[in-house]
Amino acid sequence: MFEQLEQFGINDIGTSGVASKLIPQIFRAFVGKAKCPNDSSFKTSDIISVI
Protein backbone atom coordinates (compact mmCIF):
# COMPACT_ATOMS: atom_id res chain seq x y z
CA MET A 1 0.00 0.00 0.00
CA PHE A 2 2.79 2.44 0.84
CA GLU A 3 4.24 1.90 -2.62
CA GLN A 4 1.06 3.33 -4.12
CA LEU A 5 1.22 6.38 -1.87
CA GLU A 6 4.89 6.96 -2.66
CA GLN A 7 3.84 7.63 -6.26
CA PHE A 8 2.25 10.80 -4.91
CA GLY A 9 5.21 11.71 -2.72
CA ILE A 10 3.59 10.44 0.48
CA ASN A 11 5.65 8.14 2.67
CA ASP A 12 4.63 6.00 5.64
CA ILE A 13 5.61 8.71 8.11
CA GLY A 14 3.36 11.17 6.31
CA THR A 15 0.41 8.81 6.28
CA SER A 16 0.85 8.12 9.99
CA GLY A 17 0.83 11.85 10.70
CA VAL A 18 -2.29 12.42 8.63
CA ALA A 19 -4.08 9.48 10.23
CA SER A 20 -3.14 10.56 13.75
CA LYS A 21 -4.80 13.93 13.12
CA LEU A 22 -7.78 12.86 11.02
CA ILE A 23 -9.04 9.86 12.98
CA PRO A 24 -9.64 11.76 16.26
CA GLN A 25 -11.42 14.55 14.35
CA ILE A 26 -13.68 12.03 12.64
CA PHE A 27 -14.52 10.37 15.97
CA ARG A 28 -15.29 13.76 17.54
CA ALA A 29 -17.64 14.55 14.66
CA PHE A 30 -19.44 11.21 15.09
CA VAL A 31 -19.76 11.70 18.84
CA GLY A 32 -21.14 15.19 18.31
CA LYS A 33 -23.72 13.89 15.84
CA ALA A 34 -24.64 10.99 18.12
CA LYS A 35 -25.21 13.36 21.06
CA CYS A 36 -27.42 15.78 19.12
CA PRO A 37 -31.08 14.78 19.63
CA ASN A 38 -32.21 16.89 16.65
CA ASP A 39 -29.85 15.20 14.17
CA SER A 40 -31.43 12.06 12.77
CA SER A 41 -28.73 11.52 10.13
CA PHE A 42 -26.60 9.48 12.51
CA LYS A 43 -27.90 6.58 14.57
CA THR A 44 -25.63 4.77 16.99
CA SER A 45 -27.75 1.65 16.68
CA ASP A 46 -26.96 1.47 12.94
CA ILE A 47 -23.22 1.52 13.64
CA ILE A 48 -23.51 -1.10 16.38
CA SER A 49 -25.57 -3.41 14.16
CA VAL A 50 -22.85 -3.31 11.49
CA ILE A 51 -20.11 -4.18 13.96
Q: Is the dihedral of CA 42, 25, 6, 12 positive or negative?
A: negative
Q: Is the CB of residue 11 less than 8 Å from the CB of residue 2? A: yes
Q: 5, 11 in Cβ contact below 8 A?
A: yes
Domain count of the chain?
Answer: 1
Tell me the residue range of the domain where 20 lies.
2-50
Question: Tens digit of pLDDT for each residue in 1-51?
Answer: 567 777 777 777 777 888 888 899 998 888 888 888 888 887 777 778 877
DSSP secondary-structure letter at 50?
A: H
CA dist., res. 10 & res. 49, Å (int): 35
Q: What is the pLDDT of residue 25?
A: 92
Residue 2: its pLDDT value, please? 60
